[in-house]
A and B are shown apart, each in its own frame.
Chain A
């Protein structure tokens, strides 16, 4: 029995080390996930065909909204964004749209909705941008909040309400 009693504590120690390493790795991974990401750089043409870059608005709190004319919930939330832009614009809030849409469709809807902020536009390129911002399947609407230091602090999949988004924005201003 000496072998058995001698082996057990060491075995337990080995298992504890393995469990500890696993827990450590999992903890690190979770911590890593909770760290804000720096927003990826990109540029796309706006509705007048002028190239715009996300870095044009560095220093502002950016609400980057991916939308499209084919997406009813996207269209529904845009009036809210217009209001928020008017209320907080002078404190440094900047809404920026990215339309996953054909130019003429995006332009028609921007006019119809009296879009109060700049929007960029593209089909495949805009999809790629969405992907780099964490929206792999191109599901819309999708809204990303970026703080003044360029860190992504929040993401909204789906239509947002004032209650969802206003506290996040106020905290950053």
Chain B
């Protein structure tokens, strides 16, 4: 009975955490300086919460004619700018004149009448000469919040030729955390309540859990539960929890390290040695599942663990270790939320907040696993011949995971042959080794399934011998359908960062936009992008104006690391758009898998270059 109450208990614990908020609010008023950033986020919707200056007074610039620009402030509600504190200058050019709109007059006893502007503000500036390269508009502005707090004088600098903007406060360095990704996750990290932020990353994690990248984790966890000596739903929940928390902590730590060092450990681990070793572990576990031997930990370690946590410590530790490796090797998947957190960490150095976001995301990714694992543990037979068969079945699943892992390093026909061998083995096992038992009907059905699987496995072997690669269409090579490749993007490959730099410069000189695809064979989403998105006719049409460059970092050699660093990419996939002027539209980067429709939309906007309002 107790295990049934456990989920409710856990839920209660989770719900109790936001309750801290009210206590933290009292304490927050008297808190120390360094923590203020985080604390003010903890306070969430408190009255004292003030937007960071770049969100209170977002600034942008449009070039409307070759000698007219318009500076815009979309001042947030409850904030205002002092019109008489606005000041403009153009480096490399001069301002002929500009006109300010009428603001609201407030009578200040010390300053006299002052004109302030609530809401959006537009200032048209007439320049003396047409804009040339290197012209920079410098705008000084200052504003306050209705709550009675004032922001220090701010300065925004706009590169008029390229449309780039950087802002600075009080002449100091640009404020940390001004994420250039411009996406909603970056914005959440830069401001807003920490609970909203964690919640959003959690939900993003749940969405990620249902993508191809996370599928292998389900058999891994199920196998761990099936292979466990003890058995109960509570036990399955505990094992799943340990596994999921291990992945979450790993994600958070690896993410913090990646953000601070600029390179993701997940990418470094995609070497044949690591993948082969991990696959070997799964083969060993599969053999143990087949009953060839029992996996035992060294006796000394085992007895120590037994002393700490009862005899179950061993398998819990196993689950934790598998969780860590699964996060690093299997789940090396990029995604907008992951990249936003990494960019936030590397921009702001705030590894705590970024790590917390990743932790929340990984918990979201783990939630379905938790449910699957617990349900599986409940449904699993408690012992007897059924249990033995179940373990053997998972032996095959583990072998499948091992193949999946090394498949990214193997040619397609070899991969197909391996799958065929696995399927053939499973068919033979299903047909003969499972043994008698059950009604005639069940036996018949089993034999029919075994026969079908065996036949298909033979077809796959034939397909592999013919050079085919698709498990679902093993004989495609025979019928010739494989030859009719659908049109794909005509990628140019690039070998080094220097070469890429060279290509970009030539493209800018000839006024052509560029699309760069950062790709790796081991990156599930990259392969998906290649096989579906980059073969869609609408997508091909949308990107035909751009020079397509493929950066293949499969090997993760030094030159690949240099390329990633040059492009400021943590993990593939990343599709980067550079417009005809040679300027990258950072907020239009595609990280993670995006379907053809959405990709077409993003590509059209990024390559048309009419998104200057998106500064």
Contacts and interface: CB of A to CB of B under 8 A. Distances in A.
B39 interface: yes
A30 B144 contact: no
B148 A30 contact: no
Interface in A120-151: 123-124, 127, 131-141
Interface in A48-77: 68, 70-76
Contacts of A76: 108-110
Contact of A138 (B29, B144, B170, B230): B170
Nearest to A154: B30
B104 interface: no
Contact of B230 (A7, A113, A159): A7
Interface in B1-35: 2-3, 6, 9-10, 13, 17, 20, 23-24, 26-33, 35
A13 to B, nearest CB: 10
Contacts of B435: none
Interface string A13-32: 01100010010001000100
A98 interface: no
Contacts of A153: 30
Interface stretch (B48-56, B210-218, B280-288, B367-375): B48-56
A33 B50 contact: no
A123 B171 contact: yes
Interface of B is mostly: mixed
Contact of A33 (B30, B231, B309): B30
Nearest to B383: A3
Contacts of B170: 100, 123-124, 127, 138
A158 interface: yes
B144 A71 contact: yes
Contacts of B52: 137
Given A8-B232, A15-B10, A33-B24, A136 B48 contact: no
A157 to B, nearest CB: 6
Contact of A3 (B39, B53, B235, B238): B235
A134 B33 contact: yes
Interface stretch (B66-74, B150-158, B327-335): B150-158
A134 B114 contact: no
B36 interface: yes
A8 B6 CA distance: 9
Given A71-B150, A158-B148, A4 B234 contact: yes
Contacts of A135: 33, 36
Interface in B401-446: none
A33 B28 contact: yes
A138 B169 contact: yes
A73 B148 contact: yes
A79 B539 CA distance: 66
> What is the interface residue range for chain B against chain A?
35 or more
B3 A37 contact: no
B310 interface: yes
B147 A158 contact: yes
B291 interface: no
Nearest to A140: B150
B142 interface: yes
B9 A4 contact: no
B13 A75 contact: no
A40 B34 CA distance: 12
A30 B22 CA distance: 11
Contact of A139 (B10, B39, B150): B150
B152 A138 contact: yes
A9 B238 CA distance: 12
Contact of B150 (A33, A73, A127): A73
Contact of B232 (A7, A12, A33, A40): A7
> Looking at B33, B108, B111, B172, which has the most chain A CB atoms within 10 Å of its CB?
B33
B509 interface: no
A74 B148 CA distance: 9
A73 to B, nearest CB: 5
A11 B52 CA distance: 45
A112 B110 CA distance: 9
B272 interface: no
A171 interface: no
A140 B53 CA distance: 13
A26 B233 CA distance: 30
Nearest to B147: A158
Contacts of B13: 15, 19, 22
Contacts of A68: 150, 152
A74 B183 CA distance: 36
B33 A73 contact: no
Contacts of A73: 144, 148-150
Given A30-B24, A136-B36, A100 B30 contact: no
A33 B31 CA distance: 5
Contacts of B147: 158
Given A33-B39, A73-B144, A10 B150 contact: no
Nearest first, the 7 A-B pairs at minimum CB distance are: A4-B232, A33-B27, A8-B2, A134-B33, A71-B150, A159-B148, A158-B148
Given A12-B9, A70-B153, A127-B170, 12 more contacts: A3-B231, A7-B232, A11-B237, A30-B23, A33-B27, A34-B30, A70-B142, A71-B144, A72-B111, A72-B114, A141-B149, A155-B30
18 contacts: A3-B235, A4-B3, A4-B233, A11-B6, A11-B237, A30-B20, A33-B30, A33-B31, A33-B32, A40-B33, A124-B170, A124-B172, A134-B33, A136-B33, A137-B53, A139-B150, A140-B150, A157-B149
